[in-house]
């Protein structure tokens, strides 16, 4: 299996990606997307599974020529609630929804890898394809696992790619060990006592208290945790008040906590509560705190990095794979990597000459489609090389 084999699929890969891009669907609504994937797999003579994970996920087993272990390849399929601002023929036709994180490319590349593997099955062992819904906050990976995506046969390792506009096309990056952050959410209701702006002494100003809470929470990062242990606390939404001359009785804060260390993650609810309780109590207010754990930190198994390195060098040449520090972004591939050895790498899709430079989740994000054959080839070769060494 060579890069030339994948290059022969370029027209199909671009067509698939553009068809998906024009018809984006939000988490657990990927009905057309799943039907499209199922149709393409059946055209290859493959037998996709019944619907999983709420009805839009599916798996597909490519059997090798002899029995052996099973390795999985995963693609996420959902889009984002973002209105696309690109003026391209394949732009989103769905108001307020767009593939601004590249999941359309992930799906197309896995279909490409399926084509390559169907044409040249592994000599030994099997490849399980996971087409997953709801990565964007819906924990689709966890539901895929609950529905048996890693069983029958049991999957022993899993790989995935994520497109990345910070890296030029033709290059990849990987972070061994903790690679993405645990992504948790917290909601705080600061409860004061409303009143007239002319008489603040007769009220407890929830806006003023909330401002102190926001500032004090940053002391968790700067003064109450090890500076060598990454942590980000962000209050991203503040909601409260009625008018300029009314003291607000309550203010709602919505935030996110990002961490790499599991022990620190377990401590965070108590650390936040101590700060919030102290500030609100000192200023005569009360509070309600809800803390919800989201995606865990993704841990790339270091033992799988050499498989990726050998694959990239064989397909693209030396110097095309770079090890990088962790990202504080979240990724639900973490649920797979908690269960079995896993590795997710970033595939470069940046092309400055063509203006393809906007970040993920930007309304003008787009990618260099020259990366699609590279991604399909890397995925197929990762599975093949892992099985050869297993």
- Distance CA(47)–CA(371), nearest Å, equals 27
H or E stretch covering 20: helix 10-22
The answer to whether residues 231 and 175 belong to one domain is no
**Same domain, yes or no: 17 and 68:** yes
Q: If we measure between CA atoms, which residue out of 37, 40, 16, 117 comes closest to residue 381?
A: 117
Number of domains in the chain: 2
Range of the domain at 233: 182-295
CA separation for the pair 366, 118 (Å, rounded): 29
- Reference 66, options 15, 125, 24; nearest CA is 125
Do 208 and 101 belong together in one domain?
Answer: no
Supply the residues annotated as catalytic: 78, 135
Integer CA distances (angstroms), 286 to 207, 265, 281, in order: 13, 25, 6
Q: Is the peptide bond between 153 and the residue preceding it cis, with omega within 30 degrees of 0? A: yes
Place of tokens 């970033």: 346
For residue 367, the 8-state DSSP code is: -
What is the C-alpha to C-alpha distance for residues 265 and 182, in angstroms, rounded to an integer?
8
Contacts of 151 (CB under 8 A, 6+ apart): none
Q: How far is CA 363 from CA 83, 182, 359, in A?
A: 6, 25, 9
Q: What is the pLDDT of residues 318-373, one digit of tens each?
A: 999 999 999 999 999 999 999 999 999 999 999 999 999 999 999 999 999 999 99
pTM: 0.95
Same domain, yes or no: 116 and 41: yes
pLDDT per position as a tens digit, 218-237: 999 999 999 999 999 999 99
Query: Is 220 strand, coil or helix?
Result: helix
* Residue 318 shares a structural domain with residue 291: no
User: For the segment 235-259, what is each residue's pLDDT rounded down to a tens digit?
Assistant: 999 999 999 999 999 999 999 999 9
Query: What percent of the chain lies above the pLDDT cut of 90?
Result: 99
- Write down which residue in 269, 295, 321 finishes a domain: 295
User: Is there a single domain that holds both residue 49 and residue 158?
Assistant: yes
How confident is the model over 16-69, as pLDDT tens digits?
999 999 999 999 999 999 999 999 999 999 999 999 999 999 999 999 999 999
The CATH code of the domain that includes 10 is: 3.40.630.10
Q: Specify the pairing of strand 286-295 against strand 182-191.
A: antiparallel
Of 253, 117, 113, nearest to 185 by C-alpha is: 253
10 in the same domain as 88: yes
Task: Take residue 284 and report the two structure tokens written for it.
Answer: 């005569």
Same domain, 21 and 92: yes
Q: Residue 113 pLDDT more than 80? A: yes
Phi/psi of residue 90, nearest 5 degrees? -105, 20
For residue 277, the model assigns a pLDDT of 98
**Residue 309 to residues 105, 218, 319: CA-CA distances in angstroms?**
22, 39, 10
- For 120-144, what is each residue's pLDDT tens digit? 999 999 999 999 999 999 999 999 9
Query: Helix, strand, or coil here: 207?
Result: helix
> Of 342, 343, 357, 348, nearest to 321 (Cα)?
348
Q: Are residues 12 and 157 in the same domain?
A: yes
| Secondary structure (3-state) at 204 | strand
**Among 295, 325, 349, which residue terminates a domain?**
295
Instruction: Tell me: do 208 and 274 sit in the same domain.
Output: yes
Q: In CATH, what number is assigned to the domain containing residue 245?
A: 3.30.70.360
Instruction: Indicate whether 378 and 320 sit together in one domain.
Output: yes
- Checking DSSP bridges between strand 70-76 and strand 126-132, what pairing results, if any? parallel
Looking at 265, 295, 325, the residue that finishes a domain is 295
Same domain, yes or no: 106 and 152: yes
Distance CA 268, CA 276 (A): 12
Do the bridges between strand 177-180 and strand 246-247 make them parallel or antiparallel, or are there none, so unpaired? unpaired
Phi, psi of 124 (to 5 degrees): -150, 135
Task: Say how many C-beta atoms besides its own lie within 10 A of residue 325's C-beta.
Answer: 10
């Amino acid at each position: 299996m060579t890069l030339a084999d994948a290059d022969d699929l370029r027209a199909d890969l671009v067509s698939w990606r553009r068809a998906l891009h024009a018809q984006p669907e939000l988490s657990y609504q990927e009905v057309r997307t799943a039907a499209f994937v199922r149709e393409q797999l059946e055209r290859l003579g493959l037998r996709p599974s019944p619907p999983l994970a709420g009805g839009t996920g599916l798996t597909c087993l490519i059997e090798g020529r002899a029995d052996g272990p099973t390795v999985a390849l995963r693609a996420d399929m959902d889009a984002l609630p973002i209105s696309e601002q690109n003026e391209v023929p394949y732009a989103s036709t769905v108001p307020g929804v767009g593939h601004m994180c590249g999941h359309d490319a992930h799906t197309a590349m896995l279909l490409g890898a399926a084509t390559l593997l169907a044409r040249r099955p592994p000599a030994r062992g099997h490849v399980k394809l996971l087409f997953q819904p709801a990565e964007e906050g819906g924990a689709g990976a966890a539901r895929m696992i609950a529905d048996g995506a890693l069983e029958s046969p049991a999957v022993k390792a899993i790989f995935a790619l994520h497109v990345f506009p910070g890296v030029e096309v033709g290059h990849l990056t990987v972070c061994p060990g903790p690679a993405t952050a645990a992504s948790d959410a917290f909601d705080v209701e600061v409860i004061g006592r409303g009143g007239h702006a002319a008489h603040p002494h007769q009220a407890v100003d929830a806006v003023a208290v909330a401002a102190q809470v926001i500032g004090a929470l940053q002391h968790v990062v700067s003064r109450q945790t090890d500076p060598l242990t990454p942590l980000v606390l962000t209050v991203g939404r503040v909601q409260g008040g009625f008018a300029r001359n009314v003291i607000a009785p309550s203010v709602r804060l919505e935030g996110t906590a990002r961490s790499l260390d599991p022990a620190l993650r377990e401590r965070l609810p108590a650390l936040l509560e101590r700060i919030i309780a102290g500030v609100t109590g000192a200023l005569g207010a009360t509070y309600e705190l809800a803390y919800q754990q989201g995606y865990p930190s993704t841990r790339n198994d270091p033992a799988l990095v050499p498989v990726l390195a050998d694959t990239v060098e064989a397909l693209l040449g030396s110097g095309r794979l770079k090890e990088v520090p962790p990202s504080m972004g979240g990724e639900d591939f973490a649920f797979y990597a908690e269960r079995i050895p896993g590795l997710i790498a970033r595939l470069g899709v940046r092309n400055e000459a063509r203006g393809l430079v906007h970040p993920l989740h930007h309304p003008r994000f787009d990618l260099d489609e020259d990366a699609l054959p590279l991604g399909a080839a890397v995925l197929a070769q990762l599975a093949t090389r892992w099985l050869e060494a297993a």
